[in-house]
Structure 1
């Protein structure tokens, strides 16, 4: 145990050399509880509070309905998130490198490119929103100053790598956790609550489903990079501990700030959630908003780190001899960060709203990938992959394109479209029938999971039946 702690401590002060290569067994380090702190500490932030506020402001739910939908949505979505996390100790490679085992070396490129776009978009949106939040409590910074501070923290963590990000999350677990408790006490204890706070009228199926979906998608959005942060765990750690620590870390770390958001939404229905939080915590509002705003830097570092590893994965696919290490990771991260900062600084007032529409579409494109990835890993191959083949130009035994996986994926994207809502730009016909509720992610999971499983198992049986049986000649 002491050797593991020493190795972890040394890596905090040194720059991570690995990028997308399989982590050697003698370089594995960390403990199960690291999975709890990284997902607990990085979820307690201002964006989680804003997401929770949707339940009572946008979806108009009373307190009991909002609480139930937030809790159930997070508990459901986190199942898929934690299943991805459990893959890390087994394979020791980033999440999207493993995708080559399902889609083939070239078949995975489009999906990996979607992930790069999505997390670059998240990075930009969080820079803008976090910069505005910091400027609201530290006016001398200005929005641009806040954006630059968050960008600097994110790029530093990405350059130093895996263990520094984990260390940052451990710090934020305590800082954000204590601040969250104070915020609850101030908002609902120190300040009097209105008499109708616990009113029970106004609940609706559409509002409940909308809140449930927002909470569940919050968790599923982590799927493309969650095992990036468990891949250094010793293989002996096993999948179950990684699953449960990730599951309870991300659910408690998300549910609590979302409940705070839903509560402050009821306190000030006419205000922006961030303004409502400031009013509800008057007296300690500077501390609360500052800590929760800084908390987004941890999440943004993870977005940048993931986007960098995915970019390296694409480059390595087309240039198999390209071996990226710390220097290459730093250069690519700096390029992505510079682009994101440029866009964030020049963004108009309506940028985040417009870009969020694109992010919703990209996220919808990842739900079928989640289904294919998890079914293949747990039900088809049972975690038995030849990692070396992920890095071969021809994909090795996984080929260049695994067409059954690609076709199942495309079907999954298509069946979601009628159920999707993309801001004000598009509302699918089925979403209209459901009262303006987006349940596309459920449809994607329900359709693709059995479709891919039966397709792959049927092909395996057919191939097994066509293999000639070699009999020993009779002497």
Structure 2
């Protein structure tokens, strides 16, 4: 059941009505509510999107870090899997909100922070998009450069142009890319595993088993942070599903796709780093393609690398527009932005990532990316904890969607309680963070182990559940007329 803005109760539209989805190639929606008449797709597309988005080289590099930074093979694999499951569950809980609300993920932050207050996490998320995109452009530029025999700068610029085109086309095209990436990626990784492990005894690799708490928790943190970092935009890609789509099915499709895809990539990274050593670190693209020797197989591997990065970088560019639009419309109370403004911000955000990739991203990439990923987690986990606790336990999915676009409405301009809990959630992690450019005061006492993301999930969740337990939620989900 759902209520309209006038408070009257009406039955939820049936799944059959969703068949009238717009056939336009270029998406016309931005941050506005997706009406039931335009809903389309199935949970299968969620699985293939997140599977394909994670069968990619940056995930391989991240998995390799568990070994490059001192871990053994066996416990690195276990730690990565645990982090995938924990982080993937958090990420998928966000994704399950999409069909119910019909909105991009970060718009719902206005419930917890206020229409203006939500700008704080939105700005941090924009930084995330730029950083992840820049890292992907470095590796995809290497692959595209080898494939087309052009220099890295030209390759990165060409790759950026492709991202702009795909992000402009929007939601449908992104899901088509996901299906294509999943098919190509699965085939490519089967070949890569066979080539890498040919002539090597897997049992001998797994006997490299020397448990160390610091390196084990590093592996957990690497994969958990990878998954949690998707939280601010995962619902952007499920919001067109019919409202009748069961939330649990969406949760499973999103979570399984992301966890399976990422674990495949990271396991390959662990084995590659263990077997190749210095031949892998810093030469990731050439090492992977050399497994195909030459000719058509090498070309296919280059295409696979580019395709995987193209998919996830397009997600970043598209998500950046949702966040920027949420910032802009928060001040004016608008529910959408024009197509021209949307395209402008796609070009702007991709352009910033391109500049970063060209100027600072091509040296010591492994360690810089690790530091960025782990430090970024300190700002994402409190937002994630607050959003999930509020949605599932405080207001229990009962949002007033029209009020999300009204600074004078139910949620107000600023939600001081949510903002204070968020700031405390970030601050409480600082003593526990261990990165190359910042180390907290308690890290040494813990043997160098970084447990900040665990603190950043638990403390804000508990605090917010206490301060917001008397929040007045509507009696039922209120959707636009």
TM-score after normalising by structure 1: 0.89
Q: CA deviation at 1:347?
A: 3.5
Alpha carbons 2:65, 2:370 under 8 Å: kept: no
Name the counterpart of 1:381: 395
- Does residue 329 (structure 1) correspond to residue 360 (structure 2)? The answer is no
Q: 1:80 to 1:335 in 2, by over 3 A?
A: same
- Does residue 268 (structure 1) correspond to residue 281 (structure 2)? The answer is no
Name the counterpart of 1:465: none
Alpha carbons 2:29, 2:336 under 8 Å: kept: no
Alpha carbons 1:187, 1:281 under 8 Å: kept: no
The within-5 A match list for 1:310-459 is 310-321=323-334, 323-347=336-360, 349-350=362-363, 357=371, 360-394=374-408, 396-422=409-435, 424-458=436-470
Name the counterpart of 2:312: 299
Name the counterpart of 2:229: 221
Name the counterpart of 1:252: 260
Name the counterpart of 1:469: none
Deviations 1:218-268 (A, max 9, x none): 100000000000000000012111101001111111111111111111111
Name the counterpart of 1:471: none
Instruction: Name which of 135, 141, 144 aligns with 2:150.
Output: 141
The within-5 A match list for 1:207-246 is 207-246=215-254
Alpha carbons 2:112, 2:415 under 8 Å: kept: yes
Alignment: residue pair count: 453
- Does residue 156 (structure 1) correspond to residue 165 (structure 2)? The answer is yes
Farther off after superposition, 331-340 or 312-321: 331-340
| CA distance in structure 1 between the aligned counterparts of 2:248 and 2:202, rounded to whole angstroms | 44
Q: CA deviation at 1:2?
A: 9.4
Q: CA deviation at 1:177?
A: 1.0
Deviations 1:357-395 (A, max 9, x none): 45643431111000000000000011100100111132x
Name the counterpart of 1:468: none
Name the counterpart of 2:71: 60
| CA distance in structure 1 between the aligned counterparts of 2:332 and 2:471, rounded to whole angstroms | 31
Name the counterpart of 2:48: 37
The alignment yields a C-alpha RMSD, in angstroms, of 2.3
Name the counterpart of 1:71: 81
| CA distance in structure 1 between the aligned counterparts of 2:44 and 2:168, rounded to whole angstroms | 24
| CA distance in structure 2 between the aligned counterparts of 1:258 and 1:312, rounded to whole angstroms | 34
Name the counterpart of 1:277: 288
Q: CA deviation at 1:279?
A: 4.7
Q: 1:348 to 1:233 in 2, by over 3 A?
A: closer
| CA distance in structure 1 between the aligned counterparts of 2:396 and 2:131, rounded to whole angstroms | 33
Alpha carbons 2:111, 2:411 under 8 Å: kept: yes
| CA distance in structure 2 between the aligned counterparts of 1:392 and 1:147, rounded to whole angstroms | 40
Farther off after superposition, 66-75 or 346-355: 346-355
Deviations 1:253-300 (A, max 9, x none): 111111111111111122234154345554544432431233101100
Residue 407 of structure 2 aligns to a residue in which SS? coil
Residue 18 of structure 1 aligns to a residue in which SS? coil
Q: CA deviation at 1:335?
A: 2.1
Name stretches of at least 5 consecutive residues in structure 1 with no aligned partner: 462-475
Q: CA deviation at 1:457?
A: 1.2
Alpha carbons 2:18, 2:36 under 8 Å: kept: no
Name stretches of at least 5 consecutive residues in structure 2 with no aligned partner: 1-14, 474-481
| CA distance in structure 2 between the aligned counterparts of 1:322 and 1:37, rounded to whole angstroms | 30
Q: CA deviation at 1:4?
A: 6.0
Q: 1:144 to 1:451 in 2, by over 3 A?
A: same
